[in-house]
């Protein structure tokens, strides 16, 4: 892909199509042989809402949707700028990588990334994160998470091309404002994602991610 | 989660104490030069006090290694001076350490007071300030609203100004810095070099800083302060515990202030009673700052996911 003039690889996620099966999460963990407590791709279960009074009748107004997130290989990666060792670098194709031989495991990038992407590997004593399965991508194959999704809710490619192919946004609850890091992420929001902004939504599965 | 930052609690507090102690020791030197008193004020900038500063900074640095997953790779820690405040902090810490050690070394080799000593002392004091500033900038992150405000640099500065002068005064009283002159507490040399005014000024500054710190707690503490960040949660602990920690810190600072007032009321005159009062004031203030810093790290609730 690098030879093809890719400037910024990105993920696309269709929240409305995601069933929350977590096949992407499992495929990533399996392919990268990740230890306990490390998940480079995570599926957040968002839920919220309340009863609504409609003409004197109380009707349920609840909603739920899933958000599958990995590293967004940001245009302005705060992890890279904050890393004291220079272990984090951005490739010409936009993939942000951590050099395992240089990282000293200070975990400063963990404080800086609003997406929970850099994760500490207790056994190695260093930070690790999604590498976009760059070896597969260089062979012309999709990353493991994209291949594994049975709903075809995930896609990847050159960011500008993805924007032409799909409509979407970079921010859906519970994600932060995109101006912070300019994430290379396009999300087609779930139809109820707007309700999440009204204040009752929360992530319901923190204990498993 | 809360306990994993203990090395950083120790690192930041010891680093700030070292800088504050240097400032306290440097003030008599600067003032004695301004008032035409020659180099008398440099009595406090000797190999023992500068050695003590170096030990504090060195011990702080050693503690910081305990929060690294791969401490042997710390050699890479200054590779990103261009954009990382963490790299800059480590560089500035080493600059401060080197300059303080150089002042001590000049005393050790009994070099004739070089003409540049005044500049060197001021440069060292400024490098300490830059070290504190870089330390605060590390935490002032867009992703952590509880840290991205005035409370962070102000509380770091106040820690230095409370703990530093108290440490300097206690060390100078207990470990006579004028040994090279055959000095003791009752040696007229101390009186000549303004030992009493050095002590009282340092203790008054620490006392004032403790009072300001108590006020700042009520105004700027994230989550509960009048003007502070409203939305803040203490990781793994109920939000009400922020108030509990604050009350403990307040009680300890108030105890330290009361002890300092008692010591001042005795004129800080020599004797084990005043030494005891100063020691307990220092320990109480150190405990207060430790509780406050523990709370600071506990408020690291990052935005996003």
Residue of B nearest to A71 (CA): B305
Q: How far is B178 from chain A (nearest CA, A)?
A: 42
Within a domain: A207: no
**Whether ipTM exceeds 0.85:** yes
How do beta strands A96-98 and A9-14 pair? unpaired
Within a domain: A2: no
Residues in chain A closer than 8 A to B83 (CB atoms): 80-82
Is B138's Cβ below 8 Å from some Cβ in A? yes
pLDDT tens column, A137-170? 999 999 999 999 999 999 999 999 999 999 999 9
Instruction: Provide the pLDDT for residue B270.
Output: 65
Report the greatest alpha carbon distance in chain B.
Answer: 64
Within a domain: B37: yes
Query: Of B80, B143, B305, which is closest to A83 when you measure between CB atoms?
Result: B80
Examine the pLDDT at B27 and tell me if it is beyond 50. yes
Which range of residues forms the domain containing residue B29?
Answer: 3-298
Residue B188 pLDDT level (bands cut at 50, 70, 90): very low
Residue of B nearest to A88 (CA): B80
pLDDT tens column, A100-113? 999 999 999 999 99
pLDDT tens column, B123-181? 999 999 999 999 999 999 999 988 999 999 999 999 999 999 999 999 888 775 544 34
- Alpha-carbon distances, residue A50 vs A53, A62, A181, B235 (angstroms): 10, 5, 33, 27
Give the list of residues 6+ apart from residue A19 with CB closer than 8 angstroms, or none.
A66, A150, A151, A153
H helices within B143-269, ranges in order? 151-174, 188-192, 195-220, 240-265
Q: Is the torsion defined by CA of B148, B150, B153, B156 positive or negative? A: negative
Residue A112, exposed/middle/buried by CB under 10 A (0-12, 13-18, 19+)? buried
Within a domain: B213: yes
How do beta strands A9-14 and A154-158 pair? antiparallel
Instruction: Provide the pLDDT for residue B272.
Output: 82
Is B170's Cβ below 8 Å from some Cβ in A? no
Buried b (16+ CB within 10 A) or exposed e, A149-171: beeebbbbbbbeebeeeeebebb
Around Cβ A102, how many Cβ atoms within 10 Å? Answer: 18
Instruction: Provide the pLDDT for residue B176.
Output: 58
Is B84's Cβ below 8 Å from some Cβ in A? yes
Query: Of A69, A78, A125, which is closest to B69 when you measure between CB atoms?
Result: A125
3-class DSSP state for residue B251?
A: helix
- Residue of B4, B70, B78 best to disrupt the A interface, most CBs of A under 10 A: B70
Residue B186 pLDDT level (bands cut at 50, 70, 90): very low
Alpha carbons A65 and A60: distance in angstroms, whole number? 16
Residues of chain A with a CB closer than 8 angstroms to some CB in chain B = 42, 44, 69, 78, 80-87, 102-108, 111-116, 120, 122, 124-127, 174-176, 180, 203
Examine the pLDDT at B228 and tell me if it is beyond 80. no
Alpha carbons A3 and B229: distance in angstroms, whole number? 48
The chain-wide mean pLDDT, for chain B, equals: 86
Is B110's Cβ below 8 Å from some Cβ in A? no
Q: How far is B67 from chain A (nearest CA, A)?
A: 7
- Residue of B143, B152, B235 best to disrupt the A interface, most CBs of A under 10 A: B143
- Alpha-carbon distances, residue A131 vs A20, A22, A107, A108 (angstroms): 22, 19, 18, 19
Examine the pLDDT at A205 and tell me if it is beyond 90. yes
- The structure's pTM equals 0.90
B75's tokens: 């050699």
Alpha carbons B213 and B155: distance in angstroms, whole number? 7
Within a domain: A174: yes
Identify the CATH number of the domain in which residue A156 sits: 3.30.70.20
Within a domain: B305: no
Query: Of A85, A114, A124, which is closest to B302 when you measure between CB atoms?
Result: A114
Interface contact B80-A85, CB threshold 8 A: yes
Residues in chain B closer than 8 A to A102 (CB atoms): 73, 76, 79
Interface contact A85-B77, CB threshold 8 A: yes
Residue of B nearest to A127 (CA): B69
Alpha carbons A107 and B214: distance in angstroms, whole number? 31
Instruction: Provide the pLDDT for residue B157.
Output: 98
Q: How far is B103 from chain A (nearest CA, A)?
A: 29
Is B135's Cβ below 8 Å from some Cβ in A? no
Number of domains observed in the structure of chain B: 1
Give the list of residues 6+ apart from residue A135 with CB closer than 8 angstroms, or none.
none
pLDDT tens column, A72-103? 999 999 999 999 999 999 999 999 999 999 99
Alpha carbons B129 and B126: distance in angstroms, whole number? 5
Instruction: Provide the pLDDT for residue B225.
Output: 73
User: What percentage of chain B exceeds 70 in pLDDT?
Assistant: 83
Instruction: Provide the pLDDT for residue B179.
Output: 45
Instruction: Provide the pLDDT for residue A69.
Output: 97
pLDDT tens column, B97-118? 999 999 999 888 866 667 788 8
Identify the CATH number of the domain in which residue B231 sits: 1.20.1630
Interface contact B70-A44, CB threshold 8 A: no
Within a domain: A133: yes
Alpha carbons A36 and A17: distance in angstroms, whole number? 28
Which range of residues forms the domain containing residue A36?
Answer: 9-201
Examine the pLDDT at B34 and tell me if it is beyond 90. no
Within a domain: B138: yes
Residue range B228-244: mean pLDDT, rounded: 66
- Alpha-carbon distances, residue B248 vs B154, B220, B222, B244 (angstroms): 20, 17, 16, 6
Number of domains observed in the structure of chain A: 1
Within a domain: B304: no
User: What percentage of chain A exceeds 70 in pLDDT?
Assistant: 98
Residue A184 pLDDT level (bands cut at 50, 70, 90): very high
Residue B185 or residue A174, greater confidence: A174
Within a domain: A1: no
Residue B40 pLDDT level (bands cut at 50, 70, 90): low
Lowest model confidence (mean pLDDT) among A28-37, B183-192, B230-239? B183-192
Residue range A27-50: mean pLDDT, rounded: 96
Q: How far is A12 from chain B (nearest CA, A)?
A: 18
Our measurement of the distance from residue B147's CA atom to the centroid of its chain's CA atoms, rounded to an integer in Å, reads 19
């Amino acid at each position: 892909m690098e030879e093809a003039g890719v400037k910024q690889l990105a993920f696309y996620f269709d929240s409305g199509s995601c069933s929350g099966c977590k096949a992407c999460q499992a495929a990533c963990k399996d392919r990268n042989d990740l230890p306990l407590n490390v998940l480079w791709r995570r599926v957040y279960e968002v839920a919220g809402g309340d009863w609504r009074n409609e003409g004197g009748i109380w009707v349920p107004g609840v909603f739920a949707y899933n958000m599958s997130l990995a590293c967004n290989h940001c245009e302005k990666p705060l992890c890279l700028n904050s890393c004291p060792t220079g272990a984090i670098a951005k490739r010409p194709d936009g993939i942000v990588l951590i050099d395992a031989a240089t990282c000293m495991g200070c975990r400063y990038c963990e404080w800086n990334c609003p997406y929970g992407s850099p994760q500490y590997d207790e056994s190695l004593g260093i930070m690790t994160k999604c590498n976009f399965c760059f070896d597969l991508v260089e062979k012309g194959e999709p990353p493991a998470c994209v291949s594994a999704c049975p709903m075809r809710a995930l896609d990847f490619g050159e960011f500008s091309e993805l924007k032409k192919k799909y409509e979407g946004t970079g921010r859906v609850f519970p994600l932060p404002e995109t101006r912070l890091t300019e994430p290379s992420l396009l999300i087609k929001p779930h139809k109820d994602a707007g309700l999440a902004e009204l204040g009752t939504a929360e992530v319901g599965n923190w204990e498993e991610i | 989660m809360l306990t994993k930052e203990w090395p950083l609690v120790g690192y930041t507090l010891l680093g700030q104490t070292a800088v504050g102690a240097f400032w306290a020791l440097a003030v008599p030197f600067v003032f004695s030069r301004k008032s035409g008193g020659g180099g008398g004020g440099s009595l406090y900038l000797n190999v023992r006090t500068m050695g003590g500063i170096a030990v504090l900074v060195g011990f702080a640095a050693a503690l910081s290694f305990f929060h690294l997953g791969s401490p042997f790779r710390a050699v890479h820690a200054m590779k990103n001076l261009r954009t990382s405040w963490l790299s800059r902090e480590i560089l500035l810490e080493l600059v401060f350490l080197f300059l303080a050690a150089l002042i001590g070394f000049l005393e050790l080799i009994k070099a004739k007071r070089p003409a540049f000593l005044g500049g060197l002392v001021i440069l060292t004091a400024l490098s300490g300030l830059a070290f504190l500033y870089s330390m605060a900038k590390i935490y002032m992150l867009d992703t952590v609203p509880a840290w991205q405000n005035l409370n962070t640099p102000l509380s770091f500065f106040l820690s230095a100004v409370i703990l530093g002068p108290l440490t300097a005064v206690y060390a100078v009283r207990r470990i006579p810095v004028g040994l090279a002159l055959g000095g003791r507490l009752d040696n007229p040399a101390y009186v000549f070099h303004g030992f009493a005014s050095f002590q009282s000024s340092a203790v008054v500054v620490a006392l004032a800083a403790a009072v300001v710190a108590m006020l700042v707690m009520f105004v700027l503490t994230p989550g509960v302060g009048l003007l502070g960040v409203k939305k803040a949660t203490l990781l793994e602990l109920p939000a009400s515990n922020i108030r509990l920690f604050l009350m403990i810190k307040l009680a300890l600072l108030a105890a330290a202030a009361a002890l300092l007032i008692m010591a001042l009321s005795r004129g800080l005159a020599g004797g084990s009673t005043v030494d005891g009062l100063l020691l307990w004031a220092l320990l109480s203030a150190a405990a207060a700052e430790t509780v406050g810093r523990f709370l600071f790290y506990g408020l690291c609730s990052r935005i996003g996911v």
